[in-house]
Amino acid sequence: MSDPRLLTVILNFRTPDMTLQAVAAALRAMDGIEGEIVVVDNDSGDGSFENLHNQSVSNGWTKDGRVRVLQSGRNGGFGAGNNYGIQTGFRDGSRPDYVYVLNSDAFPAPDAIQRLLDYLQTHPETGFAGSYIHGPDGDPHLTTFRFPSIASEFEAAIRFGPVSRILAKKRVPIEIPDSTQPVDWLAGASLMMRRDVLDQIGLFDETFFLYFEETDLCLRARRAGYQTVFVRDSDVAHIGSVSTGMKQWQQVPGYWFDSRLHYFTKNHGAFYAALATLAHLTGGILHRLRQGLQGRAPTDPPHFLRTLLRHDLTAMFKPRRHAAVPRLTDPISRSDGSVIVSE
């Protein structure tokens, strides 16, 4: 049996120096693995593409085709940018056996990629495998989750210990496992996917600009009969939220509300989505009442409940355009129809 072939996709948006560090770490971790790395600049517009191209050439990464730098030509979000890299395949036009998505601020340990590949090779029932993620100082990052539901929306909003204990098996966050095991979905900082599964279920849904795209992809895999597995001994350091700026958010951006509503409506129907929003609003109001009685400020971002209600009510009466889920065989989507490749 021939060795498996791996395509690693690293998406850049205005973080070229950090992206180059991620490429260097990925190259070390891919030593001995047949494959290539595709770096996609998601239309940064700040010279990132040129910087990535020039540095990759000067480092000698592009000489043997091991690394390519592409320009997506449009910023369609996390899913669209990764889809662009996945659809390009290998330089010779062939397709990989596995696809590995790595964040531009994530740095795999030397054996991290091989661990994911070995797991998928020996567990055909598994569609996706993801790493144990930690910060630069070793602090663990929570990346293991259950699928969202009406119950989880209420639990997350009310923030009340007794309710959380009752709904413990419905809570979205899963305490980081001590060993390798299936979970519902994993954050996409370091996620390897079986190409045959992507052939069957499609790529990332590009209606999601940011957030919920991994959740949706893992749910589609689950419904097709494939597990998503957290591989504990695949170790990846991750800074987190560098491109999105989430740590500095003063308010939750509109695309988060768009993604949340699209996830529930697409996967469970409009009525279920409305009930999920009602559950969140009810839990949030109860949380605010309890905090007020205790003389504490609510822990929601400013105007969160009001914005959630207004957003979802407006969406009920506003036609929404949903992108088709791309397939690996679809033409590569780009505004000018061309592909820029670093040689």
Say if residue 165 is in the same domain as residue 38: yes
Say if residue 215 is in the same domain as residue 167: yes
In a domain, 146, yes or no: yes
In a domain, 125, yes or no: yes
The predicted model gives 64-75 an average pLDDT of 95
- The whole-angstrom separation of Cα 203 and Cα 206 is 9
Domain that holds residue 294: 254-316
Say if residue 173 is in the same domain as residue 115: yes
Say if residue 171 is in the same domain as residue 284: no
Q: Which of 188, 220, 241 is the last residue of a domain?
A: 241
Q: Which of 214, 241, 268 is the last residue of a domain?
A: 241
Say if residue 183 is in the same domain as residue 293: no
Say if residue 144 is in the same domain as residue 268: no
Chain segment 146-180, per-residue pLDDT in tens: 999 999 999 999 999 999 999 999 999 999 999 99
Say if residue 73 is in the same domain as residue 208: yes
Say if residue 26 is in the same domain as residue 134: yes
Q: For 238, list phi and psi in degrees, rounded to 5.
A: -145, 130
Q: How many domains does the chain have?
A: 2
Q: Is the per-residue pLDDT at 198 higher than 60?
A: yes
Say if residue 271 is in the same domain as residue 236: no
Say if residue 60 is in the same domain as residue 105: yes
Q: Is the per-residue pLDDT at 342 higher than 60?
A: no
- The whole-angstrom separation of Cα 206 and Cα 194 is 19
What is the pLDDT confidence band of residue 240, given thresholds at 50, 70 and 90?
A: confident
Pick from 90, 88, 97: nearest CA to 40: 88
Chain segment 243-299, per-residue pLDDT in tens: 444 544 578 999 999 999 999 999 999 999 999 999 999 999 999 999 999 999 988
pTM of the full structure: 0.93
CATH number at residue 67: 3.90.550.10
What is the pLDDT confidence band of residue 337, given thresholds at 50, 70 and 90?
A: very low
Higher per-residue pLDDT: 276 or 1: 276
Say if residue 88 is in the same domain as residue 47: yes
In a domain, 217, yes or no: yes
